[in-house]
Amino acid sequence: MLQSSGAILDRDILPVITCSGFGTSEPLTLWSFEGTGFLLEKNIFVTCWHCVRTPLREGREYAVVVETDEGNTAWMLSDISKDANGTDLATVRVPLEPNLGLVLAHEPVLMGADVWTFGYPLTRGPYPLSEEDPARGKRIELEGRYLRGYVTRTVKYEDPHFDETPCYELDMLAPAGLSGAPIVERGSKRVIGIVFKEHYRGDSEEYSRTTFALAHYTETLLNLRGSATLGLTLPEYLDG
């Protein structure tokens, strides 16, 4: 368990997986790791839509894994819905209460603002798991990472699947698996955005590339709404 200022980050910022076996006497079977997400009040879980958008085979479910003193436990996700505004964000319901106390920022931050994140870049194990090689008897080793950086600029990214996306560009790595991780203002628990992509600047030569993280802008997060929020924006639902 990773602690920061006494808070256990991996109780609220969780890996998103797909698995089967819920509601049966069989042990849960892990099929894939999809990304990261985080808990807010009222059993709301927020992640990127591309982490939970793929229709699953019958018997399989999206879930999160919570590490406890007794071992890992999986909790099924429900009311999964894409942001009604069409962005690459999703609201989800999960029967868990947060302990970290993450809250939504009311205003965006300026260029140069210090930020941190925590998530699960996949560094070990088969990825992605194929249908021909299921995870039964195997493990994906998810190693949480705490990352720090700063806002280099705000920019509109031309996403081929979600059109023009206002975002923060961050001086921070964003390897596969970090999508859905919250971007938090340093010295606070205010979430200003959500990681969704690693972004390269420069030419095709590896030595001249510069890697940045892209995160959804604060206003996009504040306008997020779906079935888990009863059609209300995220702050309206949380404050209601």
Q: Give the whole-angstrom CA distance, residue 14 versus residue 180.
A: 9
Categorize the per-residue pLDDT at 183 as very low, low, confident or very high, splitting at 50, 70 and 90: very high
Q: Is 187 left (phi over 0), alpha (psi -120 to 50) or beta?
A: left
Three-state DSSP state, 235: helix
Categorise residue 12: left if φ over 0, alpha if ψ from -120 to 50, beta otherwise.
alpha
Instruction: Give the residue from 47, 48, 43, 55 showing the smallest Cα distance to 18.
Output: 55
Hey, which bits of the chain come out as E strands?
Answer: 3-4, 7-8, 13-20, 29-40, 44-47, 60-68, 71-76, 78-82, 90-93, 103-104, 114-119, 145-159, 163-170, 182-185, 190-201, 210-216
Q: Which domain holds residue 93?
A: 3-239
Confidence of residue 30 (pLDDT cuts 50, 70, 90): confident
Mean pLDDT of 101-109: 96
**16-30, 51-65, 132-146, 194-208 — most confident range:** 51-65
Report pLDDT for 4: 42
The C-alpha angle with vertex 232 and arms to 231 and 235, in degrees rounded to 5, equals 150
Q: pLDDT (tens digit, 9 = 90+) per residue, 215-240?
A: 999 999 999 999 999 999 999 999 98
Q: What is the pLDDT of residues 79-96, one digit of tens each?
A: 999 999 999 999 999 999
CATH code of the domain covering residue 135? 2.40.10.120
Q: Please say whether the beta carbons of 67 and 99 come within 8 A.
A: no
Lowest mean pLDDT among 13-17, 31-35, 168-172: 31-35
At residue 51, the pLDDT reads: 96
**pLDDT higher for 223 or 28?**
223
Q: How far is CA 131 from CA 30, 31, 56, 117, 164, in A?
A: 12, 8, 12, 32, 34
Look at residue 175 in the predicted model and tell me its pLDDT. Answer: 84
Contact between residue 43 and residue 97 where contact means Cβ atoms under 8 Å apart: yes
Mean pLDDT, rounded, of the chain:
86
Whether residue 161 is predicted with pLDDT greater than 90 in this model: the reply is: no
Round to whole Å and give the CA distance between 120 and 143: 6
Structure tokens that stand for 74 in this block: 């999986």
Quote the CA–CA distance of 84 and 91 in Å, as a whole number: 10
Q: Give how many domains the chain has, as a whole number.
A: 1
Peptide bond between residue 128 and the one before it cis (omega within 30 degrees of 0): yes
CB 65 within 8 A of CB 35: no
C-beta separation of 113 from 226 below 8 A: no
